[in-house]
Every structure is written in C-alpha cells, then in structure tokens.
Structure 1
Amino acid sequence: MSSPTPPPPREVLPWSRFGEAARELARTVADSGWMPDLVIAVARGGLVPAGAVAYALDVKAMGTMNVEFYTGVDQTLGEPLVLPPLLDTSALAGARVLVVDDVADSGRTLELVMQRLRAGERPPAQARSAVLYTKPRSVIEPDYTWHRTERWISFPWSALPPVTATATDGA
C-alpha cells in the first residue's frame, strides 16, 4: 500500500509578517524615485496588499480590476477572465498607475491587467506593477517584487476555507 502524497512545500505569509512585507514593497517603489498617482488592486488576491501599499505610499486614489484565473492549488481556468464591475479606464489618462497583486505565479493575470490598461482608449501615462511574490515561471517580470519563491503561497486572507452557513449559524 502506498502512502498518500505529501502536500507540496508552502511559503507561508502570516498576518504578523504581512504589514512588514507590504511596507517593504512600498519602500522599494518609493526608493525607485517613481511614485504613482493611483493604485489598482487586482482582485481578489491583490485587494489587501494594494490597500496596504497605497497607505504606505500615501496614495488615496484606488481602483480595482476583478480577474478570475486560479480555482485551486495549481488549478486554473483556460485563460484569465475579467469579471464585472469593470474599471473605468478612461479616468486613467495621463496618470502614473501602480497595479498591485499578491503574486505573479504564472504571471498571466498580471500580464492581462497590464495589457488592458495600456491598450485602453485613454491609457495611463505610465503603468507599473508590484507584487508580494514572483515565481520563476511568471511570463511577466513585475516592476517591483518583495520576495521570490517557487513554492505555493499561503496568504493570511486565503489560508482558511470560505465561511458558509451551517445549522449552528442560525441560518
């Protein structure tokens, strides 16, 4: 009888380290001498990092682009899919935009977002990307990365299963 396959090694980012990671990523952006006018979060994974980076950079203007691609550990849709509500890219004309996501794993989500921003009717003057983690297989090299890894990453906002109604929840 064969034993079950052990889970792949994981990179774990706990809440206790997240604030420091986001601040270090923001410091990398600031130290480059380039500052964004607005931050765009790639939802869902980039929502929390984008908010933390925007606060650290003192950028108040934020937007969100909703993209679905990963459906599980190393499980994806055929192509990344932009979900509604759609970002009004006409408001980006002439701006310096920082796109923030949690990870550039395959890089296909980040690549799609960057292409859509640059190909818009009124594109931003500059668009750069920042991620907490970049993996070697990513098809895009983010402008700013906090850490590089080959492992699957457990983020504090997605480490636990979704909350659902149960009989004890009073539902």
Structure 2
Amino acid sequence: MTRTAQRVFEHQRIWRVTPDALSDACLLLFAAITRDHPKVNHVIGVANGGVAPARILAGRLGVKPRTVQARHNADDGLYRQATGKVTVDIDAFHRALGRRKLDGTILVVDDICGSGATLHKLRNVLTPVLAPDVRVITATLCLNTGAETGPDYSVWTVSDWVSFPWEKRPEQPTTDMPSPDRVTSHA
C-alpha cells in the first residue's frame, strides 16, 4: 500500500483568492511560463478549479482552452484530506479530440496542488492523447506545503484552506490572499 501525501492545514485562517489576486497571479504565471516556453500549443484546465485560470492563460497565449474533468475529493467541504483516489473523465476529453494527438508544449492548469495526486494522475491518463515529442508543463495558483508532487509553476505556497472566486464563499471568516509578486518555478 502506498502512502498518500497529506495536505497541511494549520487552521490559522481560510485564505480567499480575490478576483484581482486571480488576475494578478495569472499575469505572473503567463510571464514566467512564456519566459521559459516561448510557444505553448495547448492549455488544459482541470475542472473545476483549473478552468478559470486556464481560460485566462489560454487567452493571453492565444490558444483555445480545453477542459478535463478530474476529482480528488467526494465533496467541497473545508479541510478535506487527500485520499489519493483521483477520478478523471478522460473519455470525454478523448471524444472532444477525436483522433487527434496533442503536440508541442501543453500547459495543464489547476487551482491548487494539495497532495500532488491530481497532477500525477493527469500526467499518466493524458499519455494516450499526446504526440511522442510533447512537453507537458503544469501550473497551479496554490501549492500546499504537504504536496509530494508539485507543479512546474505556482504562485502562492499555503498551509491552510483556500477559497477561490468560483467557489461558494465559506461561512467562516476569510483572509484575502496577498497580491502576488512572483511565481515559483519548481521545474
């Protein structure tokens, strides 16, 4: 039996990513990614959380955003621990592509890397739709300190729960995430 990385929750606060902070974070990600990868051919947002940042980044990169459905937790309750069981609806993604294989540089975007299990699973299940010479890079808005497998790029490193603009706002008090000033490259 393999051990599942556990997200770290210090229970000090619930972070809230504001729409302005989201916009700033995506601009910083765009700058860092295009500095290292002048041409990104495809952007895939991990639904649900990666869809909004993927659309923003795809728009800046001038490519069509794609979506793959993946789920790690059974529900969206606060402080849910990682199970290591990630479900991916790769069949719908395959159908959308038809017989095409994705080539070039592919950017996979999610809102948070909690344990690393979702990004790890996606790297494996996307393989059949990738051309042999493809390069996959990953970016998340947040990286939890408990993650064992991290993204190539992240904006905020967190040790508590994070609420995003597309989610129902928690009933508990939240602390706005500070405006980002840099992207961390883990590649």
State the TM-score, normalizing by the size of structure 1: 0.79
Q: Is the 8 A contact 1:40 1:50 kept in 2?
A: yes
Partner of 1:145: 154
Q: Aligned partners of 1:129 and 1:109: how far apart in 2?
A: 11
List per-residue Cα deviations over 1:12-31 (Å, max 9, x = no partner).
Answer: 21112211111111111011
Q: 2:114 aligns with which of 101, 105, 109?
A: 105
Q: 1:135 aligns with which of 138, 144, 168?
A: 144
Query: Structure 1 residues 149, 98: CA separation in 2 closer, same or farther (over 3 Å shift)?
Result: same
Q: Aligned partners of 1:31 and 1:78: how far apart in 2?
A: 33
Query: Structure 1 residues 140, 77: CA separation in 2 closer, same or farther (over 3 Å shift)?
Result: closer
Deviates more, 1:140-149 or 1:72-81: 72-81
Deviation of residue 91 (structure 1)?
A: 2.5
Partner of 2:4: none
1:51 maps onto 2:68 in alignment:
no
Partner of 2:35: 31
Q: Is the 8 A contact 2:163 2:169 kept in 1?
A: no
- Greater relative contact order (CA < 8 Å, ≥ 6 in sequence): 2
Q: Aligned partners of 1:123 and 1:66: how far apart in 2?
A: 21
Q: Aligned partners of 1:95 and 1:63: how far apart in 2?
A: 15
Gaps of 5+ in 2: 1-10, 171-187
1:73 maps onto 2:78 in alignment:
yes
Deviates more, 1:69-78 or 1:12-21: 69-78
Q: Which has the larger radius of gyration?
A: 1
Q: CA RMSD in A?
A: 2.2
Query: Structure 1 residues 122, 78: CA separation in 2 closer, same or farther (over 3 Å shift)?
Result: closer
Q: Aligned partners of 1:53 and 1:107: how far apart in 2?
A: 21
1:16 maps onto 2:20 in alignment:
yes
Deviates more, 1:33-42 or 1:84-93: 84-93
Structure 2 counterpart SS, 1:56: helix
Q: Is the 8 A contact 1:29 1:35 kept in 2?
A: no
Q: Is the 8 A contact 1:97 1:127 kept in 2?
A: yes
Q: Is the 8 A contact 1:11 1:154 kept in 2?
A: yes
Gaps of 5+ in 1: 1-6, 162-171
Deviation of residue 11 (structure 1)?
A: 1.9
Deviation of residue 123 (structure 1)?
A: 4.0
State percent identity of aligned pairs: 25
Q: Aligned partners of 2:152 and 2:142: how far apart in 1?
A: 12
Q: Aligned partners of 1:121 and 1:15: how far apart in 2?
A: 33
